[in-house]
Amino acid sequence: MNYKWNKLAVHKEPPQILRTKLQLPIKTLMSPGPTNCSKRVLQSLQNQILGHLHPEFCMLMDEIKEGLQYIFQTNNRLTLALSASGHGGMEACLTNLLEPGETVLIVKSGIWSERAACMANRLGANVKLLETDYTKGITLKELEIALEQHRPVVVFMVHAESSTGVKQPLEDFGVLIHKYNALLIVDVVASLCGEPFFMDSWDIDAAYAGSQKAIGASPGLAPISFSPRAEKKLFERKTKPSSFYWDLTILGNYWKCFGNEDRVYHHTMSATLLYGLREALAEIAEEGLQALWNRHAAAAVRLRKGLELRGLQSYVKIPQYQLSTVISVQLPPGVVDKVVIQRAMEKYKVEISRGLGPTVGKFLRIGLLRVNATPEKVDLVLRGLDEGLKYASESKL
């Protein structure tokens, strides 16, 4: 054929870099996420693509919605998975629940609350921070003082601060915040399925997670749930959310959350990622949420004991604030984090993470998430840590 565009024939050649065969290592991911996927989840990913409104696809969405309601422990009808990373969940909560000029109170517990403040500022909200010392959660009293002072319409808290390993207790916070007519958004990215979480019993209005942590699916989806109270705010907004992509009134229609007969197209979801999330949720349904929480707790106990035996300090000292999913370990004086991490990876193909935010440079972070929250994986990461620390001490000499 003689194409009209031949005068503009391809001028850029295919890159050589793509001529190689895809070859990927298999690692044990003991960072705060992503974690490894189970064989069942990985196998599901290779299923052929389906259209985003096919009956089988819609059935998967229904199954996933029920699975998400189960892991959030909620009856919220507005429960779905966003086509985005956990950060998308954060932005979706703030974008849907804040109008320009409204006040949001952010409990500054580490890097994720800083990110939330950055997002809320961009949305034109009036951002107030409640500072913490990073090593523990805040109390109801501390929050109440800030509520009195700032009278926010939204409070943002992180359940599992993965930059430090702090768990923020949440019981009774929802009730208090509602007394002040505010809504409570909680980041459960690093806790959902790994720590007890009760969206309904704890009166939480909006929560979001990431598919790649204790849920155990591929990265790329952000489960999210809104309470009836949050839904009300959503539908009574004076302005439309600045984003169509995050607009939960339209996404809720696609996920058939509002009792609507037909699904309304919003965007093309990834069939691949839905397959994996469906299988991860099916595994959780089989194991049972309580058993899964207990497995994470037991792995954390084993890891903490191992660290104690080695004389290694945790960033979070007070037990009630210690997460089971992410544990920050202090580096011995003079030991460089990167050296330890590289050695553990070389020797055992096991991933340990650097510190982040408040823990950067002085701590390592170990994640115990889903398939890796087992005694065997705890022992492996301890071997990796031993090897890394030994190597780092020797290389100092």
Taking the CA atoms of residue 371, residue 349, residue 47 and residue 368 in that order, the dihedral angle to the nearest 10 degrees is 20
Q: Applying CB under 8 A, does 168 fall inside the site for a copy of itself?
A: no
393 burial via Cβ count (<10 Å: 0-12, 13-18, 19+): middle
Return the number of the residue (48 or 259) whose C-beta is nearest a copy of itself: 48
Q: Is 278 annotated as a binding residue?
A: no
Choice between 293 and 348, CB closer to a copy of itself: 293
**CA distance linking residue 31 with residue 33, whole number of Å:** 5
Q: Which of 99, 161, 205, 351 touches a copy of itself (CB under 8 A)?
A: 351
Distances (CA, A) of 138 to 94, 146, 159, 227, 280: 21, 11, 11, 23, 33
Binding mask 169-208 for a copy of itself (x = CB under 8 A): --x------------------------x-x--x-------
Query: Binding of a copy of itself at residue 137 (CB under 8 A)?
Result: no
Cα angle 124-129-130, degrees, rounded to a multiple of 5 = 155
Site for a copy of itself in 237-256 (CB under 8 A): 240-245
The DSSP secondary-structure symbol of 110 reads: S
Q: Is 2 in the site for a copy of itself (CB under 8 A)?
A: no
CB of 183 to a copy of itself, least distance (A): 20
Measured from the CB of residue 216, what is the shortest distance to a copy of itself in angstroms? 10
Residues that bind a copy of itself (rule: CB under 8 A) add up to a total of 106
DSSP 134: S
- Min dist. Cβ of residue 70 to a copy of itself (A): 6
- One-character DSSP codes across 35-52: -PPPHHHHHHTTSPP--T
Paired tokens of 122: 């961009």
What would the x/- binding string for a copy of itself be over residues 275 to 294, using CB under 8 A? Answer: xx-xx-xx-xxx-xxx--xx
Token pair belonging to 304: 């903490």
Q: Min. distance of Cβ 344 from a copy of itself in angstroms?
A: 13
Q: Given the complex with a copy of itself, which of 244 and 258 has the nearer CB atom? A: 244
As annotated, the binding site for substrate includes 365
